[in-house]
Structure 1
């Protein structure tokens, strides 16, 4: 176990270093609000679902860290994340555009209208099998307390994210030699490969049920 954690932390350092360029450009949230036309058609509609590579709710991005959003868009632009629609969106954005859009969505979560009120109940404890899976994956070591306080700006908050999206994302880290599906993050790839899809779904269901700050902030035209 100690050897596994050491390897994961080494990979985490490498990924953080590689993604650091995403933080070099300062984003302007106000400008980002004028550049998000390609985002709102999916991420600004409550309950919107993608049908590729399977049906799932698109991720909540309002309230997500700007560093992570920027890093993700750069990954799509470089082809490290394979999704035709997102690759097309990212390709159309400059580094400044990416920083601005990331700043906008990071800020929008604190001011927008949410789909449901913030949960007041404490975070449920995982079942014994799920707790064992979380420990095996050392998930909290990167995503932080309650999976909502990541240890680096380029890591995501995942508490309360749509469970079906989390499941699709986790499976994507296991995908190889597919031109349209897959993610080439070495840290998450090493983690995901440890689990069956059934185990990944159990992890996604638990983490998705946790209270968190991620939101869908509908545009007025979609309310």
Structure 2
């Protein structure tokens, strides 16, 4: 059965990708404006625009780097927080105040920070990390170097903070909690294969990969 898991996961991923593509097509009617997004990002920079800034919920970890993510992923994340599929009190409060145009503008702004392409060949993973990543078929969604997702609504992972990646991965295993956790059938099935130690190993490796994500401090924080 364990040998079949990657194949099963890839099949489920294919189905999820078709669904995500349909949602992306539905959202294409709203065009983001970079300059408008820059103004609206005032509410974001207090966390995402400060190098080394940490969040203490649900445990201490660096807030994710979102500069360089795709516009579609930024929008998908905000929609998930607004709907409650991603549960985080602060982010749900922020996302709940945004309409579709606001989200599209923020997506355009943060996507505009992408300044380089990640290499197609990732650094060599340890035998343990390579086996764990293969078990989860991570590259099936997140692409070459974990920075070229097969659908733009999926996140780039290469170079992201390890402690954030660990918290995010673990959140998919949470059930029956209205305050913390993430609802995603595909990711829940993948994450639940791993022990806490294995999640940390995966997160550590992904953080070591050269990617496109970064922090772009605003003038007041430079």
Query: Same fold by TM-score, threshold 0.5 exceeded?
Result: yes
Aligned equivalent of 2:38? 33
Deviation at 1:53, TM superposition (A): 0.4
Quick one: structure 1 residues 129 and 69, their matched pair in 2 at CA, closer, same or farther if it must change by over 3 Å? same
> 2:56 matched to 1:51?
yes
Counterpart residue number, 1:158: 157
* Partner in structure 2 of residue 220 of structure 1: 219
Matches within 5 A, 1:1-223: 1=4, 2-18=7-23, 20-110=25-115, 123-223=122-222
Query: CA 1:134 to 1:4, structure 2 compared with 1: closer, same or farther past 3 Å?
Result: same
1:130 shift after superposition: 1.0
Residues 16-66 of structure 1: CA deviation (Å, up to 9, x unaligned): 434654444110111101111110000000100000000000000011110
Contact 2:49 2:221 in 1 (8 A): yes
The verdict on how the C-alpha distance between 1:107 and 1:138 changes in structure 2, with shifts beyond 3 A counting, is same
| Cα RMSD after superposing both structures | 2.0
8 Å CA contact 2:118–2:147 kept in 1: the answer is no
- Please identify runs of 4+ aligned residues in structure 1 that moved more than 6 A: none
Kept in 2: contact 1:23–1:70 (CA 8 A): no
1:114 alignment counterpart: none
Deviations 1:119-174 (A, max 9, x none): 99x74211111111111100001000010100011011100000100000000111
Helix, strand or coil at the partner of 1:174: coil
Aligned residues: 216
CA distance in 1, matches of 2:124, 2:96: 41
CA distance in 2, matches of 1:86, 1:205: 25
- Structure 1: state its 5+ residue gaps: 112-117
Q: Assess if the C-alpha contact under 8 Å between 1:22 and 1:71 holds in 2.
A: no
Helix, strand or coil: the match of 1:108?
coil
TM-score in terms of structure 2 length = 0.91
The 3 A distance-change label for structure 1 pair 15 and 195 is farther
